[in-house]
Amino acid sequence: MKLAMPWGHLAAKRWGAAEGPPVLCLHGLLDNANTFDKLIPQLPPDFHYVAIDFGGHGRSSHYSPGFLYCHYHFVIDVRRVVAALKWTHFSIVGHSFGGTVGGMFACIFPEMVDKLILLDTLPLLLDFQELDNLVTYKHQAIEHMLQIEASQKLPSVVSPPKMLQRFLEHRGLDKECGALLLKRGTTKVGSGLVLNRDPRLSMVKSCFNFVSKEQFVQFIGRLQASVLLIKAVQEDKGELITEEEKRFIMDMLRSKLQEVRRDRAFPSLCPGVPGLAALPHHPGLYTWGHEHCRILTCCRARPTLAPLVRCWPQGRSPPWEPGSTWH
């Protein structure tokens, strides 16, 4: 499926019932819609799942020359996608960067998002020094884009085995999952492969928009969606925020979402979890939650989390008690 955009198109794939309740699936930075290939077939078939390739990823068009890849632009793209699909109310499943895009969208358009499921990510990225660092972030992003434009470097053609090896070394995935992402994220050239993604995305941090404490409180205060957050016990080495900032985010999510539920009398949230068998999570699984917001941690050596997910759309009771461990 291709959706027309001002600069070209966004590619997408769909599963389930076309008339069923809609679920938008958003992948992580430098990934693509194949992220969800192992998950969606195990979920209830009477929902309509659509996974997109963000601009510059997978089979989507690259942004126009001279155009900066920016977090807010991805949020705008989500609004364009749901307008094209004629969705007015839907749920979001977002992994990593896709979760921060979905989280910001759910705060800016709270009336449109029923449920927000965050896989090993947070709804917004916080920087306690955001005001001090803002100029530095923008300077780095602009300089990086200009360097990429000036280099005019053509993408390298690499043999499939070597491409997979490089991919696994940098991404921490197993062989099967790496091959799955490369299938949609590369183009065959002669006997080799070329990465589809836009070189302007190579400076990952330039794509994120960090918010200050005050902005975070305002954003989260607008959130109306029921929220499920799945986080890893062992974090990746290249973390973008500090432990102190993470604690603040978790505390604010708990307090604000509990407050939202009291004020708006939300019905109970069935905490089913659409976990991804294809993604690199870490040992240990625990849950924390209440009726409106649930936070849990998923494992690397794990079965698929699809049995938990099936509870979510169908309203059944979860197979664990809050605070328990699921193996």
Q: Which residues are catalytic?
A: 96
- Sign, CA dihedral 176-297-261-214, equals negative
Residues counted in the chain: 327
Query: Nearest CA to 309 among 262, 264, 277, 263?
Result: 277
The DSSP code sequence of 80-131 is HHHHHHT-SSEEEEEETHHHHHHHHHHHHSTTTEEEEEEESS-SSEE-TTHH
Range 38-42 contact pairs with CB under 8 angstroms and sequence separation of 24 or more: 38/177, 38/180, 38/276, 38/277, 38/278, 38/304, 39/274, 39/275, 39/276, 39/277, 39/278, 39/304, 39/306, 39/309, 40/15, 40/16, 41/15, 42/304, 42/306, 42/309
Parallel, antiparallel or unpaired: strands 22-26 and 48-52: parallel
Which residues are paired to 48 by β-bridges?
16, 22
Which residues are paired to 93 by β-bridges?
25, 117
- The CB density around residue 270, as the number of other CB atoms within 10 Å, is 19
What token pair was written down for 66? 């001279």
